Structures are given as structure tokens and as C-alpha cells.
């Protein structure tokens, strides 16, 4: 790996460039996820897709703990020019003594308004650069005490899978890196595209709850108990119908009280809040992939009427259904309609038909 500046950048605005800062000892999985999400050509979904650049954040050779050696023509100069800057999980050595050049590059990128994302322990570097002071952030739950002690000015949240505060995002550990990268795709290109990427990766499009559910092992009895997957799928197929906690509990063959408790323990939210989130998520897909009037979308998602849809949709997404449709239809304007809409439409129908 070398720190030199690449001599072959694409024309400005041609692609959204995602640059990943790589340090020696970077975790293999957390480094591989952005490569999978942003580095594989998915122009059949969105054309152009992202351009991924692995940027050496310190002199090479750079190796992962599993012994992989990474080589790239990109360095810190390329990092600050990217549209999205990703700081991969880093070794304990880097956490305690971050490369000064990388910290300076992060500050420069932030000053230029770049979107900056940390994956797992990469949050240490954003915090060391002073970017997280006064902001909500997270990292792997095992680092909660250490991180909060080292960076008392950061509003550390140990319970979530990822945080978003303006142009700064942080993620919890390992699996939450997938959630965070899919969230970026969802933000840039909408739920239908993000869901299709998730399907190709064979992972959930969106996980409810937070990392607190993983912070300690479940007792043996709880591990033996059947999961909630079947009843969740049952409910997703019936979002257009009236759904109640009592009805879900009957389908799960549990008392209402036991079901509600197990639901919160497993997903970190209430059954009714989960239903609301799923209905809004389905509404997003219908707004992106159909020309149905808002009133029709409201009926198909179980909100009953447009007023209810607008109220709940706005509360969870901060925009109106009309604005959401305009934004994502506008973003897809100029793309090949067949290439970009076929996977999205099948994604929506797959959710409704599961």
C-alpha cells in the first residue's frame, strides 16, 4: 500500500465516491462489508453505482489480523476528496495512538462537508479528531466503558446499531456495519434499492432493536425458545389488515403478556411500534415503485387514510409522503427505468407476498 495521490480520478459528479481509510490491523469483516456494499458494480440497480476507494491511512504494508495484505494506489489526499469517508474498524494500537495525518484528513473532510462514517472501533478516530464532541455516537458494546471514559464529551449511546448526527455516522460492532452501510444506500437511493442489495447479500433489509440485545448471552431456557420470525413474517403479509397485540400473540401461541415481554426483549421495541415501522417501510417502497395515490398507499399499508399515513410517515421519516416520493423519483430520473425499477418492484412484491 502507498500513500500517494491517485492520478486517475473520475470526473466530478460522475459517481459518488466512497473512500475507506485503512490502517494496519484493520478488522477483516468490517473492512469487507463496505467493499461488498459499495465496491461491487450494481449499475443494474442504480447507474452509476458508487465508486469505492481503499485509502492507506499510514505507511504500508498494511495487513489484516488474518494475514491479508492490502495494496491500493489511494491515500489521504484521495480520502478528503471523497463524497463519503468511511473509517474502518482499527486495532487497539491505532485506537490509542491514531495516525496524525489521518486525524488531520478527517478534520479537513468534515470542514468540507463530507459525509463521514465510522465502522465499529473506527469511532475512536472520529472522537480523537474532535468530530464527535457533543454528538451522539456509538461503537461496539464491549468498548462502552473504555470509549465513554476516554471521550467524555461524546454523547455515547451503547444501545443502538448505528447513529446519525448530521453528516457524521457511527456504527456498533461487526454485524451492525452491514446495517449502517445499507442505511447509507437507503438514504442515497431509497428503500427499494437498499432492500434489493440486502437480498443479494442474504441479510435482513433492516433490523429492529439495538445492540443491547447482544450485550449479554441469553439464559439457556431463552435460547431454547422458538424465535419470533414466523409471527413477524405473518404480520408483514397482513400489514393492510387490522393488527393487534392480541392477534399476534395468538399466532405465536403465547399469552398477550408473555408475547409483549418477549417481543421487547428480542427486538427492543413494542409490537405496535414495530407494526408502525413496518407499515412506514412498506409505504416507502410503494411511493418509490408505484404511481398509486397517497390515499391508496395508505389503504395498502394499513393506515386507512392519507391523513393517518402523513402523520405517522412524517413522524418517522421527518418528511411527507409526497416529498419522499418526489425526492426518490427525482434521484432516479435519467436512469434506465427498466434496469432500476424491476428489482425494486420485485422487492416490494416479495415483502407483500412472504
pLDDT of res. 217: 40
Task: Give CA separation, 141 vs 161, 173, 175, 180, in Å.
Answer: 10, 7, 12, 16
Q: Say yes or no: 34 and 169 in one domain.
A: yes
For residue 5, tell me if it sits in a domain: no
Ranges of residues in the chain with a pLDDT under 50 are 1-13, 212-226, 333-354
Q: Would 208 be classed as within a structural domain?
A: no
The whole model's pTM is what? 0.64
Closest among 87, 103, 76 to 27, alpha carbons compared: 87
Backbone dihedral angles phi then psi of residue 219, each to the nearest 5 degrees? -65, 155
Q: Are 73 and 2 in contact (CB under 8 A)?
A: yes
Return the residue matching grid coordinates 465516491.
17
Distance CA(117)–CA(168), nearest Å, equals: 6
Q: Compute CA distances 164 → 152, 172, 233, whole Å.
A: 19, 12, 28
The pLDDT of residue 3: 36
CATH classification of the domain holding 299: 1.10.10.60
Do 106 and 195 share a domain, yes or no?
Answer: yes
Q: Indicate whether 187 and 265 sit together in one domain.
A: no
User: Do the domain assignments include residue 10?
Assistant: no
Residue 173: inside a domain, yes or no?
yes
pLDDT for the residue numbered 210: 52
CA 253 to chain centre: 33
- Separation CA 158–CA 145 (nearest Å): 9
159 DSSP assignment:
T
**All 3 cell numbers of residue 78?**
484521495
d(CA 332, CA 45): 10
Helix (H) or strand (E) holding 286: helix 271-289
- The pLDDT score that the predictor gives to residue 282 is 92
**Residue ending a domain, choose from 165, 200, 235:** 200
3-state secondary structure of 54: strand
Considering the domain architecture, whether residues 47 and 175 belong to the same structural domain is answered as: yes
Q: Taking the CB of residue 351, how many other CB atoms lie within 10 A of it?
A: 20
**Structural domain total, the chain:** 2
Q: Which helix or strand (DSSP H or E) is residue 310 part of?
A: helix 306-317
Q: DSSP secondary-structure letter at 74? A: B
What confidence score (pLDDT) does residue 186 get?
Answer: 92
Same domain (yes/no): 240, 296: yes
> Are 102 and 159 members of one domain?
yes
Domain residue limits at 304: 218-354
Q: Which of 149, 140, 102 is nearest to 121 (CA)?
A: 140
* Residues whose CB falls within 8 Å of the CB of residue 175, separated by 6 or more in sequence, listed in order: none
Residue where one domain finishes, among candidates 174, 200, 226: 200
- Rounded-to-integer distance, Cα 217 and Cα 265, Å: 12
Instruction: Kindly report the CATH number assigned to the domain that includes residue 132.
Output: 3.40.50.880
20 phi, psi to nearest 5 deg: -105, 120
Q: Distance between CA atoms of 124 and 147, rounded to whole angstroms?
A: 7
Specify whether 47 is located in the same domain as 114.
yes
Give, in order, the Cα–Cα distances in Å from 101 to each of 30, 104, 199, 342, 344.
22, 5, 38, 44, 41
DSSP 8-state code for residue 218: P
Predicted confidence at residue 308, as pLDDT, reads 95
Amino acid at each position: 500500500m502507498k500513500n500517494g495521490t491517485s492520478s486517475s480520478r473520475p470526473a466530478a459528479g460522475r459517481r459518488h465516491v466512497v473512500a475507506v481509510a485503512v490502517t494496519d490491523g484493520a478488522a477483516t469483516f468490517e473492512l469487507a462489508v463496505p467493499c461488498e456494499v459499495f465496491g461491487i458494480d450494481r449499475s443494474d440497480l442504480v447507474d452509476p453505482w458508487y465508486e469505492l476507494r481503499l485509502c492507506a491511512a499510514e505507511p504500508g504494508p498494511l495487513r489484516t489480523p488474518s494475514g491479508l495484505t492490502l495494496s491500493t494506489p489511494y491515500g489521504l489526499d484521495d480520502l478528503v476528496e471523497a463524497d463519503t469517508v468511511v473509517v474502518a474498524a482499527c486495532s487497539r494500537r491505532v485506537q490509542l495512538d491514531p495516525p496524525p495525518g489521518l486525524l488531520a484528513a478527517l478534520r479537513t473532510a468534515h470542514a468540507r462537508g463530507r459525509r463521514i462514517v465510522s465502522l465499529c472501533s473506527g469511532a475512536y478516530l472520529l472522537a480523537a479528531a474532535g468530530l464527535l464532541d457533543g454528538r451522539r455516537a456509538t461503537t461496539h458494546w464491549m468498548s462502552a466503558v473504555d470509549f465513554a471514559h476516554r471521550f467524555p464529551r461524546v454523547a455515547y449511546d451503547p444501545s443502538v446499531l448505528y447513529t446519525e448526527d448530521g453528516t457524521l455516522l457511527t456504527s456498533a460492532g461487526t454485524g451492525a456495519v452491514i446495517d449502517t452501510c445499507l442505511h447509507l444506500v437507503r438514504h442515497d437511493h431509497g428503500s427499494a434499492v437498499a432492500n434489493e442489495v440486502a437480498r443479494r447479500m442474504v441479510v435482513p433489509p433492516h433490523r429492529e432493536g439495538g445492540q443491547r440485545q447482544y450485550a449479554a448471552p441469553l439464559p439457556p431456557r431463552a435460547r431454547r425458545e422458538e424465535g419470533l420470525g414466523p409471527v413477524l413474517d405473518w404480520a408483514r403479509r397482513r400489514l393492510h389488515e387490522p393488527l393487534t397485540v392480541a392477534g399476534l400473540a395468538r399466532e405465536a401461541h403465547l399469552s398477550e403478556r408473555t408475547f409483549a415481554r418477549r417481543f421487547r426483549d428480542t427486538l427492543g421495541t413494542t409490537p405496535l411500534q414495530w407494526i408502525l415501522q413496518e407499515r412506514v417501510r412498506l409505504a416507502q417502497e410503494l411511493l418509490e415503485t408505484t404511481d398509486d395515490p397517497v390515499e391508496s398507499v395508505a389503504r395498502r399499508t394499513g393506515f386507512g387514510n392519507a391523513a393517518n399515513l402523513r402523520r405517522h410517515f412524517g413522524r418517522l421519516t421527518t418528511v411527507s409522503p409526497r416529498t419522499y416520493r418526489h425526492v426518490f423519483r427525482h434521484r432516479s430520473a435519467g436512469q434506465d427505468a427498466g434496469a432500476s425499477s424491476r428489482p425494486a418492484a420485485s422487492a416490494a412484491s416479495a415483502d407483500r407476498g412472504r
